[in-house]
Amino acid sequence: MRNIKLTIQYDGTDFSGWQVQKNTPTIQGLIEKAILIVTGEETRLTGAGRTDAGVHALDQRATFKTGSTLDPPVLSRALNANLPMDIRIIACEECEDDFHPRYNAKNKTYTYLICRDVPFSVFLRRFSLMCTYSLDVQAMDAAGPLITGRHDFSSFRASGCSAKNPVREIYTISVLEVGSVDFMGFTFKTPLLKISIQANAFLRHMARNIVGTLMEVGKGRIPPEEMTAILESKNRDAAGPTAPACGLFLETINY
């Protein structure tokens, strides 16, 4: 059996997340179905991370074993022909037998987009959180670095998280505001906030819970310096709410 590595891009808006579920379209489920159509094999796709319903991916990775002898470019085209247009295989290659897209990942970057002006958001709304209130970007940018490093991230972990160990290492958190949005050659005069988090791995909802907490800082409800106490409390209730999925992108995975 060959081990095939896929690089996948998806607009998560219309799917129920990565993981296979019965009676609802998921990225994993739809790709497994495409593999069955193309190779005739029932297989399990192993993803680098389980993105939630509505979360997008620029650079998701996954592997599957196959007896098929199809060349990777042919396999890639055949899978794309059997996938909805919102999911695309953008690279396909044979990899070493023991390569694991999650365990072998050195780090992942999730990026969250917040669009600061509702009326201009028609073209941006699928891909950003629309926020009508103003946010103190400086305070948010000061708050982020206070939780970088190797820590128990229980305060930012969803209750249903299945990870045995809540310790993760965040390398960087950056909060950047740009005054206008470039959108396919058009420029929208609406501020856009871009929050990027790079870590060795993420607990369930960790990126969205950090963003939700930073937004509370931005609104002035949590002072930036309180981030340290929130982290140390290891108590989910101490942190802010889970930011909506639509603004989140799995941006890069480094191996």
Q: What residues make contact with its own copies under the rule CB under 8 A?
A: 9-11, 56, 58, 76, 80, 85-90, 111, 113, 118-128, 178, 181-186, 192, 194, 249, 251
**Active-site residue flag, 136:** no
CA dist 136 and 165 (Å) reads 33
Of 15 and 153, nearer to its own copies (C-beta) is 15
Of 45 and 250, nearer to its own copies (C-beta) is 250
Burial, 6: exposed, middle or buried (Cβ in 10 Å; 0-12, 13-18, 19+)?
buried
Of 76 and 155, nearer to its own copies (C-beta) is 76
CA dist 131 and 82 (Å) reads 36
Rounded to a whole number of angstroms, the minimum distance from the CB of residue 83 to its own copies is: 10
Rounded to a whole number of angstroms, the minimum distance from the CB of residue 115 to its own copies is: 8
Of 70 and 238, nearer to its own copies (C-beta) is 70
Token pair for 236 = 């989910």
Catalytic-labelled residue, pool 14, 52, 86, 136? 52
Work out whether strand 87-95 and strand 129-130 pair parallel, antiparallel, or are unpaired.
Answer: unpaired
Any idea what the Cα angle at residue 251 is, between residues 4 and 27, rounded to 5°?
A: 50
Rounded to a whole number of angstroms, the minimum distance from the CB of residue 80 to its own copies is: 7
Rounded to a whole number of angstroms, the minimum distance from the CB of residue 200 to its own copies is: 23
* Residue whose pair of structure tokens reads 């009326």 in the numeric block: 119
Task: Give the three-state DSSP class for 105.
Answer: coil
Enzyme catalytic residues: 52
